[in-house]
Chain A
Amino acid sequence: MRRIATLLGLLLGLAASGWALSSVAAPRLATFDFALGETLNALGHPPVAQAGLDGYQHYARQTGIFPPETANLGGRFQPNFEYLASQKPDAILISPPAHTNLIPKLTPIAPVETFRLYHFAETAPDDWLTIENMTRALGRRVQDPHAAQQLIMQTQQQMDQLKAQVAAVKSPLLLVRLIDERHLRIFGPGSLEGMVLKRLGLTNAWTKPLGRWGFVQTTADQVFQLNARLILLESPYVETGLQQQLLSQGVWQYWASAQRGDHRVVPINFWSWGGLPSAQRFATGLVQALKRPSKAMNQRSEEATE
């Protein structure tokens, strides 16, 4: 946690210095997407208006990262037009396919600029590159390319360090959120989780098809026989410890990973379709979790497998 704080401090410092260098007043940008919003914020040029502010901040456990001046436009999918117009933005940034149906109503307020971020098709461009390009484009947009370059380089450095720390992890990982004792959600390519896994040189155990948004909802029988180490993602909406408690129910207690005790819980403190700041947070949380020593649920079976 402290590391994240210093990191953010560093980032903000860098960004601020970059901002000081640029002479022209930065454009007033409004955005409905959290990847764009948190990236702008990390560049030191927070958006003047952000849709879905409360929901995003709560889900990503980043309450208060935006300055109080940032206008909260209301619902993520239904930003308040009147309020948005009163903020007199120079441009409105969205990430298709979300919000594209609003474009006709938005153009009278300000030009709409689109950033296509996470793709789910196999042939799609690399997510990491897309996010870096978005960061660069936003840097140019706020006339502070230097801050963008700093953020990208700093993220790359951090990823390389983290990657080195988990170089020994060979087993495929299954990124799971247990919804209740009967259902689960699995993350893969097309989501931030999948992207970070790939960047850290880790293998995703899920190779079957995913939905358009990089996750799949399924039941125990579909995943039980996968050979994988479980990474349980804990939602900010449920009490801590629920993932571990659910894992002890029914067939899940016999899951090979639970038996070995090499499963790990990672609290969600990032936006699942976020930008580099979210990627840093998830990567840090994941690597910390992977480095934690095993607490076997069943000591004997762990000895047997080792």
Chain B
Amino acid sequence: MSSSALAYVRRLPFIPVVLILALIALFSWQLPQQGGSGVLWQGLIAPGIDQPQQLLAHYVWWPRLAMALLAGAGLGIAGVLMQQLLRNPLASPTTLGVSTGANLALTMATLWAPGLLSLGREWVALVGGGLAVAIVMALSWRRSLAPIVVVLAGLVVNLYLGALSTALLLFNQDAMSGLLVWAAGSLAQNGWADTVSVSWRLALGVLAALLLLRPLRLLELDDASARSLGISVRTLRLGGLAIAVWITATLVSFVGIIGFIGLAAPNIVRLAGIRSLSSRLIGSALLGGGLLVATDWFVQSLTGLLPVIIPTGAVAGALGAPLLLWLIPKLSLTDSPPQHHLSPTTYRHPAPQRLVLVMAGSLLGLILLALFCGQDIEGWYWLKELSLLEWRWPRVIAAAASGLMLALAGTLLQRLSGNPMASPEVLGISSGCAIALLLSLFVLPSEHSLGRIAIGAGGGLLTLGLILALTRRHQFAPERMLLAGVAMGAVMDALVRMILASGDPRAQEALAWMTGSTYYVTASMALGAAGLALVMVAIVWPLQRWLDLLPLGSASSRALGVPLNQARLLLLLVVAVLTAGATLIVGPLSFVGLLAPHLARLMGLVRARWQLLGAGLLGTLLMVLADALGRQLLFPHDLPAGLVAALIGGAYFIWGLRRM
């Protein structure tokens, strides 16, 4: 007994203790600001109409505390449910795309069908969140919901839905300023109405979860054993997920996206050695509530210092990411056996030269179209004025160069990890560049493009270094590297939401860049990008042998004489530079790095040489096309190339993923 208690204490991470101390400290900071315990108490039970501090306590402070507790607890419960149902320690409202889906649905409803919202915001959110999860499930179904595939699909769906929201935002910014504050996850309250609505909706969800408690417990066995005990695993999963989505959608519709609590709380509870499902539910609810209250009190102590609303949900996301990074080495993920997707049995094109030549020909034709065709106030035209070229060639060249760089980076990563879903976007290198650049936009007084390149590359390299350091112990296992990507993506997302919610007009510049517009590209930048792309091609080309051998797995490649660690390091460095260069121009959202190598392989370009060529050409093609469409389609308005590429490429990718 005593030894097991000791083991329990040893396994108990310091987080709950730190959390309680932090809560005490933050509360003692809050108390005098709210007028002392007398005011708070009086405010809770019977505020005097002529006592402003008591009124504030009654209508603002207490409901906000209640909402933070409810939201944290709800997300903790939803997280445990999802993790139990999918047997996946990384499932959570944020990683499965529920929050993003709910957010997008509410945004669309606000813009186009405000009538729907009067039916109940949570229903709209429920549909959006449910659809997002359905897509994620559909994408990972054929891989029998393998944890890492689910998370990866969630990441891609998150990126895609985020891109859609951003596209809506670009054209409706004045109209959406209010929506932005909500979407960023502000917990500010004004009265008890929201708290009451959330409580009974959550209570319904929790009640339903309790009814499922017994069958849920049996899910800890594998599917076959559970089935032999008379459980329909599929029905159980569907029902359980519906409950988790209901809880999440309710919370999103009232307080916006709250990052990471739903992922962190259940995992910390599990690491603390709490095993039984009911204890994990209770523990996660308590911990989630505590974490969110602590975050919110921290945020409140900053309010007044800055002339902006600091959204607690986004802060939770930003603070939670390091927590996830810290958890990565501790999670007992069953590192799945290497997937030989690139195995020789894949379809091989009989004449790769001819295919590549056709691609090159189409690219040439497209570039001519992009340069000479267009729309103006009188309609479409061909070859109007040669002076237009002056505006177009830098954009076309820059788009082409960044498409090429992303495609190369993606090819390298996919061959390196043997994982067809690896890409700079997915690994968080793009996000790392973006974070550094966003911060520079607001911290540095003025920007120079050269300084920006350095900052962006620095951010990308730092991310890559971090990923390498974190996954070293696991021989740079791709699964763990992808997790770091999830964390970096979350930080970027949180940052963007904070900036947008601030209402600062500089947010527009950040937004334009985030969405990857070639609008700001100058001639020298375009030539620089093209030069960088060519240099990188020259570096990558001689490495074909490694790239052919690496997908065979570490043992085989080592046996065939690849200096594994050096090869990986060099290739990853190349990836960082390629990604930073491309991200600076087309932003972190495009899916080209994911899509181009994948498409090339589907077309039968299997060997490294042909995949590099094919992916490079396809990436260039896609980006030039996206840029041309973005420039001309909505004339005189400009749609960013990165966004158009993401919308085209992401849709194709999600569609194509079904078959993997």
Chain A residues engaging chain B, CB cutoff 8 angstroms: 55, 58-59, 71-83, 85-86, 98, 101-102, 104-105, 108, 179-183, 185, 208-213, 215-222, 224-225, 237-238, 249-252, 254
Contacts and interface: CB of A to CB of B under 8 A. Distances in A.
B181 to A, nearest CB: 5
A183 B174 contact: no
Interface string B292-309: 000000000001100111
18 contacts: A55-B174, A58-B174, A71-B377, A76-B508, A77-B512, A78-B512, A79-B636, A85-B387, A101-B509, A179-B177, A179-B178, A210-B307, A211-B502, A213-B505, A219-B60, A219-B188, A250-B59, A250-B191
A211 B503 contact: yes
A222 B303 contact: yes
Contacts of B170: 75
Given A77-B509, A82-B376, A83-B376, A101 B307 contact: no
B503 A217 contact: yes
Contacts of A85: 387, 391
Contacts of A83: 376-377, 635-636
A98 B55 CA distance: 41
Quick one: which of B175, B189, B190, B638 has the most chain A CB within 10 A?
B190
B638 A75 contact: yes
Nearest to B521: A105
Interface in B467-524: 501-505, 508-509, 512, 517, 519-520, 522
A251 B376 contact: no
B308 A216 contact: yes
Interface in B617-643: 635-638
B224 to A, nearest CB: 50
B308 A225 contact: no
B1 interface: no
A252 B58 CA distance: 12
Question: Number of contact residues on B: which range applies?
Answer: 35 or more
Contacts of A212: 504
A254 B636 contact: no
Contact of A215 (B387, B392, B503): B503
Contacts of B61: 221
B56 interface: yes
A251 B190 contact: yes
Per DSSP, chain A at the interface is mixed
A182 B177 CA distance: 14
B181 A179 contact: yes
Contacts of B376: 82-83, 86
A237 B111 CA distance: 10
B611 to A, nearest CB: 36
A251 B505 contact: no
B52 interface: yes
B522 A105 contact: yes
A74 B375 CA distance: 13
A178 to B, nearest CB: 9
A85 B178 CA distance: 36
Given A182-B189, A215-B503, A80 B309 contact: no
Contacts of B60: 219-221, 224, 250-251
A124 B568 CA distance: 56
B171 to A, nearest CB: 8
B255 to A, nearest CB: 9
B197 to A, nearest CB: 12
Contacts of A75: 170, 637-638
Q: Which 7 A-B pairs have the closest CB atoms?
A: A250-B191, A251-B59, A250-B190, A74-B636, A80-B636, A216-B307, A219-B188
Given A211-B308, A237-B175, A220 B190 contact: yes
B191 A249 contact: yes
Nearest to B505: A213
A225 B501 CA distance: 25
Contacts of B573: none
